[in-house]
Chains A and B, each alone.
Chain A
């Protein structure tokens, strides 16, 4: 048993952390959030592609760097610390993994490779309005017309769908669920501003026609979606670990400097114990995050159990951290001016996407051993 990162992985973590500290601070995120535009920068995305970050978790035979999902977790954890807004989770983890698992070599070359270079952005369009997290609840339809497929329906909260070049769309056909890679330009898109400053799209497909070469057939679509949403959940936990870590230590520093009653408020035991509670939850999150990124690439029940347990810990532990961080900052924590609230909002997004607390507890409970 060994929890150590390899030398390459340590280097990766340091490189991404340095990028966050020097080039993509929380201040950068705030500026991009408040500006009109995408909410992130395509030039930075391209740079991430050049650094290899976007290719790292994919195998070499599809043009990736042959790393593992542990590496994607390392990148996401560091990006979370300074709220780097580029669409890593939505494009590399959700859209990219759907194309990798569902696609053919030709599709990998044509559609996945440019994303790994940072030239395009992929998004996963599976969610629909007022449906919680079950990807099988899908009212969008696909019907065969000659050599083509015609897709109709609406997709909701497509993360970074406003900026995506291609959408991986889930649609129901008479042969069951299908996944198609659709050009974003062929759809009607309405940008939705999210609580955390990121953007998504509500997408309407009106008889959008795509060729058979855009259907993902390497695996059954439901299986691809289940596995991709697990990657997404593990990725959300990884980013959430970075968010929780940043909030814990920002709060600890605040308690060491803020004075009331003529003393540092960090001298108060009630507040000290609260920060210890936060520390405990971050350590538990780190532990189960590690299991979840390691198992994310496995098949079978231990993967889903580990990932659901990690998502529960993010929901309970991660949110204990984000809520107490606000509380311990007092009034200033409730202002938009202070960074702590930005992490708080991102934590809510990460807790919610790819299955929230209730969804994961229900999934775990359904397959729990009886003894």
Chain B
């Protein structure tokens, strides 16, 4: 039992911290300082810098251009990036579709797609949810009809995050209506410039243009863009959910949020004109969040220690998404409460301090954290069934 990082790991942490301090462009640092929302071009600017350093895909195997990091190095890099508030990279290519292409793709597909995901030359988005297929994803109805050397795709995907910036979309489509609904699904890679593909951005609750509706109207997709077997897409989707869940412990994000909360508590005055940081009520609220985050962080370390040994994630990892997403929201809620009436201002740099401007929109948008990557209710269904062995209905 040893809960400390090794001297080599601590040295790596210092290296990462120093590199970020020296290489993060000032305009991005300024936004990070204000906990501001990064637009896609800023995200891709940061992507290029990390790519040049060789750190853009810490979890990729060396043969595909990854840095060959240990699980602990990956964790430290991720945590330092989160703590510094660097733009969060778009996960759709690097974290979601790339591991599937590595595992299920042909050599031709790997060579075609992976280098451009790594360099950031091609940006990806995810085509899973449909207006009538959310948590019940297998009921999706976007059809891909076999037309010889290509499929003809027709249907609608929704909440496709940043589709307006994407060059490619990976989609679950229906290629058969026979048998169980999970069995007729295939995994297609679709060029967003294909005629018949249309993107309509919509505002999120945070008034950011992060969501889109993506329409397919007889879009021709070459058959070489089928990933994995025909009608075998559901297995790929399940494999991807595994990756996605480990993404969202969000320890660094919540630690940053907590730091912001303390800054707000020092800035806002309570009874008798004293800062809220000196108010026992608010101080104990901050303490409680920090104490609970500590338990979550130790759970993350447990999952990390298992990964480091090369084991599959155990029961502790299944709760990371559940707890991480709730703590993100609780930190947001505490920030809003600390701001009092200032929390009413909406995208206004003058009515409130610049570092406060993004608190309300973030509070609104982060309602998504308990919904995306498999809603928390779906996560609970999975834990009830697979870990607690609860009987089916």
Contacts and interface: CB of A to CB of B under 8 A. Distances in A.
A305 B2 CA distance: 18
B287 A266 contact: no
Nearest to B385: A272
Contacts of B323: 280, 284
A362 interface: yes
B18 interface: no
A133 to B, nearest CB: 16
Contacts of A362: 280, 284
B302 A294 contact: no
Interface residues of B, number: 47
B388 A312 contact: no
B290 A273 contact: no
A279 B391 CA distance: 16
Contact of B287 (A2, A3, A275, A365): A365
Nearest to A311: B291
B292 A294 contact: no
A60 B221 CA distance: 73
Contacts of B290: 364, 368
B381 A272 contact: yes
Interface in A41-89: 70
A1 B304 contact: yes
B291 A308 contact: yes
Interface string A1-21: 111111001000000000000
A5 B1 CA distance: 6
Contact of B283 (A290, A291, A312, A365): A365
B295 A294 contact: no
B302 A368 contact: no
A1 B3 contact: yes
Given A272-B390, A364-B290, A287 B1 contact: no
Given A1-B2, A313-B295, A371-B259, A364 B308 contact: no
B131 interface: no
Interface size class of A (residues with CB under 8 A): 35 or more
A273 B4 CA distance: 34
Contact of B1 (A2, A280, A305, A370): A2
A262 B123 CA distance: 53
Interface in A260-305: 263-264, 266-267, 269, 272-273, 275-277, 279-280, 283-288, 290-291, 294-295, 305
A368 B261 CA distance: 13
Interface in B39-89: 72
A252 interface: yes
A252 B284 contact: no
Most buried by A among B72, B286, B322, B380: B380
A306 interface: yes
B191 to A, nearest CB: 41
B200 interface: no
A219 interface: no
A266 B391 contact: yes
Interface of A: 1-6, 9, 70, 252, 255-256, 263-264, 266-267, 269, 272-273, 275-277, 279-280, 283-288, 290-291, 294-295, 305-306, 308-310, 312-313, 316-317, 361-362, 364-365, 368-371
10 contacts: A1-B301, A256-B389, A267-B392, A267-B393, A272-B390, A280-B319, A284-B323, A286-B316, A291-B298, A371-B263
Interface of B: 1-5, 72, 259, 262-263, 266, 277, 280, 283-284, 286-288, 290-292, 294-296, 298-299, 301-302, 304-305, 308, 315-316, 319, 322-323, 377, 380-381, 383-384, 387-393
